[in-house]
Amino acid sequence: MLSIQNLIILILLFPIIGILFLLLTPSRQEKLLKSIALNFACLSFTGSLVVWGFFKKSIGSFQFVTTILWMPYYNLNIVIGIDGISLFFIILTTLLIPLCLLASWNSISFNLKEFLIAFLVLDFLLIGSFLVLDVLVFYVLFESTLIPMFLIIGVWGSRERKVLASYYFFMYTLFGSILMLLSILYILQEVGSTNYEILTSYFLSETEQKYIWFTFFLAFASKVPMIPVHLWLPEAHVEAPTAGSVILAGVLLKLGTYGFIRFTLPVCPEACFYFTPFVYTIATVGIIYTSFTAIRQSDFKRIIAYTSIAHMNLVILGIFSYNTIGIEGAILQSLSHGFVASGLFLVIGVVYDRYRTRIVQYYGGLAITMPIYITVFLFFTLANISFPGTSSFVGEFLILVGSFKVNSTITFLGATGVIIGGVYSLWLFNRIAYGNIKTQYTQYFLDLSFRELVTFLPLILGTLIIGICPNIFLGSIHMSVNNLIETIYF
């Protein structure tokens, strides 16, 4: 009988099995290659839903824990498990990978087999990052995600600056993580283990916590990203293919927020309290600066890229509120951003596949010629400005309530990003949907195909379910967040 522990391992291994099948399939059989990759990605998603069904909401500790012997003589083993914090990040990852493959169904033909393999490798590394309960193994998987993403941007990017953008992405995020490795080595020497549960029960001095906190902060802040290490993100989004932008915004940025919640808060609680003013200042400046910067952009993807930075910096305010409401809001908003930002990048990908440009001024009047497309665009635009009934409203409301308990001034400044977000989102939608049809740039009009509509539907449903029935998610998250709060304070 298949146990849940075995199912978790299978969720992790399905992408690897898919890669083996892809390697054995001739490159000329493109339809078969696509079907293999999509089916194995869907198997991981189905498995993650089954795990959610067996997940016990009343337990705050890790469930379905499995230990894989790695180097037992050095007290280094691979421990995997799931709690309410990691559960939905895994579901989000396993959902977005099949959607990325569907979005690239007709747009990628160059080195198709390698493209599919890169996505399945990324699937394996991301699932592993959210499953492992060992900071050293997490670091290995966390850094390894750079390699397939570097190739996706640099090889299958859409414009001539794609190689430069891939190096931007690689160097910014790699250099931010080098010092983190030194801290992990120090922890291994000092504590004798890098196991998560051992680390959270071991007392580090305040000075040790400050040094470790700073190195972890550099690594995770580069992924979020926070100012001033944010410059790689707009460049990477603009040059990446649509599927690359979806997985980058939908999941890869979440590795930073997940790292803060999973490792920084419980391992360095005193240092977190000490550096809170510093974090709040950077996050608030990031929200306001990137929101204003988004208004002056002319490229579709740059606008959404800067909005992503603003939303993710708001998540940071929730994480460092150190209360249940704020942290639960941060997790919910991270999931919401995964749905909404992915939807917006897919919206951009639809018109780019048809007209090969992302410059806003070339579009207009699409409400007349592409009504279904504009309806989907309007939905994600409203979700992006936190319209009530959408997931972003619930996430941002909880974050603001949680951070208000800590610092009302910072909350007020952070909330201005929500207001400015309404400006650039509605401004963008208005220019695309209404006005004169630019027939000198767009000669034919084709609304959403069935495949494209199927790609959007899971994201629309996810956004609505979180917005209307957030307790479906909060019920599974609550006990794990309470357990984290106890670790921080006690």
Placement of tokens 């007392």 in the chain: 203
Residue 260, φ and ψ in degrees, nearest 5: -60, -45
| Residue 75 vs residues 9, 180, 198: alpha-carbon distances, Å | 21, 20, 11
**Which of 252, 253, 349, 235 lies closest to 302 in space, CA to CA?**
235
**Which of 110, 108, 117 lies closest to 148 in space, CA to CA?**
117
Contact between 128 and 196 (Cβ < 8 Å): no
Q: Quick one: pLDDT at residue 337?
A: 94
| Residue 26 vs residues 15, 117, 122, 298: alpha-carbon distances, Å | 18, 13, 22, 42
Q: Quick one: pLDDT at residue 96?
A: 95
Around Cβ 405, how many Cβ atoms within 10 Å? 13
**Which of 285, 268, 277, 155 lies closest to 230 in space, CA to CA?**
285
Q: Quick one: pLDDT at residue 443?
A: 67
Contact between 258 and 130 (Cβ < 8 Å): yes
Q: Quick one: pLDDT at residue 440?
A: 65
CB-count burial class (<10 Å; 0-12, 13-18, 19+) for 105: middle
DSSP designation for 361: G
Cis check for the bond before 225: say yes or no (omega within 30 of 0).
yes
User: Block means of pLDDT (10 residues each) for the chain, length 490 residues?
Assistant: 78 94 91 94 94 89 85 78 93 95 85 92 95 92 92 84 84 84 91 87 89 93 88 87 91 93 93 94 92 86 90 94 94 94 93 84 87 94 91 93 92 85 84 80 79 93 94 92 89
Q: Quick one: pLDDT at residue 166?
A: 87
| β-bridge pairing 76-82 and 63-71 | antiparallel
Q: Quick one: pLDDT at residue 177?
A: 84
Q: Quick one: pLDDT at residue 70?
A: 76
Q: Quick one: pLDDT at residue 171?
A: 86
In the chain, the N- to C-terminal Cα span, in Å, equals 40
Residue 369, φ and ψ in degrees, nearest 5: -90, -25
Contact between 421 and 324 (Cβ < 8 Å): no
* Dist. CA 263–CA 145, nearest whole Å: 18
Beta bridge partners of 71: 76
* Dist. CA 30–CA 22, nearest whole Å: 10
Instruction: Break the chain into its structural domains and give their ranges.
Output: 4-489
Q: Quick one: pLDDT at residue 48?
A: 94
* Residues in CB range of 206: below 8 A, 6 or more apart: 270, 271, 274
Task: Give pTM, 2 decimals.
Answer: 0.94
Q: Quick one: pLDDT at residue 90?
A: 95
| Residue 323 vs residues 58, 95, 400, 409, 488: alpha-carbon distances, Å | 19, 29, 12, 17, 10
**Which of 356, 360, 235, 361 lies closest to 305 in space, CA to CA?**
235
Q: Quick one: pLDDT at residue 16?
A: 95
* Dist. CA 335–CA 332, nearest whole Å: 5
Tally of residues, the chain: 490
* Dist. CA 169–CA 33, nearest whole Å: 28
